[in-house]
Amino acid sequence: MSTINRMLMLALKEALQIVRDRATLGMVLGVPLLQFILFGFAVELTPRTLSVTAVASQGERAARMSDGSNPDLSARALAVPLH
Amino acid sequence: MIGSGKIHGLLGPNGSGKTTLLRILAGIWHPDVGRIAYPSAPVRIGYVAQRFCLYDELTVGENLRFQGAMLGRNVMPVARALTEFSLEALASRRAAVLSNGERQRLMLAAAMLSRPTLLLLDEPTTALDTASRRSLWSLLRREAAYGTAVVLTSHELSDGVHCDSTTRLSEGRLEERGR
């Protein structure tokens, strides 16, 4: 029997094992379904209201971050003076 | 010396080194000292482990077909293996629901698919009832009659009466050689 046939037989065996074992089948189907629902509706991956602390010289870039020019980025910037 | 067509028993209590010696014979492990001398003719080895090591989710027929496919050429046809080991009625039954005796027959059938010249069995009689033991010994005797050399381990010394020769092991050492 060729290597390809052996691989096909191995794939068939694995498929049968997965289909017939309820716990494994549950994991194979259930976990992606759960992820689909969670990532589709419940989980927000865009960072909003993210508290950011920028360490910079006083009055420079850190101060400009909080000028309100980007409405999506409502980061709270705190200028920490460097000595 | 293990002759073809003979059944040799490795007997001894748990921890005496029976399984270790059997695995060395199978080529799974290598001995720290000494060596195993095989005859010049190629030796095909069939190995039956102590625990069930086939697939619970597959049926008896599927297990044998899979083993046969993995072994490749010159294997015994599955239909013949089912007949020889009285598994025809169980062919479509999943391995998970088989009794210990039926599982032992299935593992034996799987090991015999490659038509081995040396058959190794690790504690094959453990957890078998009297009828299953009788059936197993009769199958082993038949395989030996076909010319297969059979080596098995057992912690029950009474199993020695079914063997043509025995070796008793104790704490990793050969204690006594019988017949």
Measured at the alpha carbon of residue B75, what is the angle toward residues B70 and B78, in degrees to the nearest 5?
90
Whether residue B57 and residue A1 make contact (CB cut-off 8 A), yes or no, is no
Residue type at B14 in one-letter notation: N
User: Is 0.85 exceeded by the ipTM?
Assistant: no
Interchain contact A20–B (C-beta under 8 A): yes
10-residue block means of pLDDT along chain A (83 residues)?
88 96 93 92 79 65 52 53 58
Residue A72 has what pLDDT?
52
Q: What residue segments make up the domains of chain A, in order of their start?
A: 3-42, 46-83
How confident is the model over B98-154, as pLDDT tens digits?
999 999 999 999 999 999 999 999 999 988 899 999 999 999 999 999 999 999 999
Chain A residue with Cα closest to B63: A13
Interchain contact A83–B (C-beta under 8 A): no
For residues B19-24, give the mean pLDDT. 94
Residue A78 has what pLDDT?
56
A61 burial level (CB within 10 Å; 0-12, 13-18, 19+) = exposed
| Residue of B54, B70, B75 to mutate when probing chain A, most A C-beta within 10 A | B70
**Residue scoring higher pLDDT (A59 or B168):** B168
Nearest CA to B48 out of B129, B161, B152 is that of B152
Is the distance from CB of B122 to CB of B153 less than 8 angstroms? yes
How confident is the model over A8-27, as pLDDT tens digits?
999 999 999 999 999 999 99
Q: Which residue in B57, B69, B94 is closest to A5 by CB distance?
A: B69
Is the distance from CB of B104 to CB of B136 less than 8 angstroms? yes
Is the distance from CB of B59 to CB of B93 less than 8 angstroms? yes
How confident is the model over B34-83, as pLDDT tens digits?
888 887 777 899 999 999 999 999 999 999 999 999 998 789 999 999 99
Residue A44 has what pLDDT?
79
Domains recognised in chain B with CATH numbers: 7-178 (3.40.50.300)
For residues B87-94, give the mean pLDDT. 96
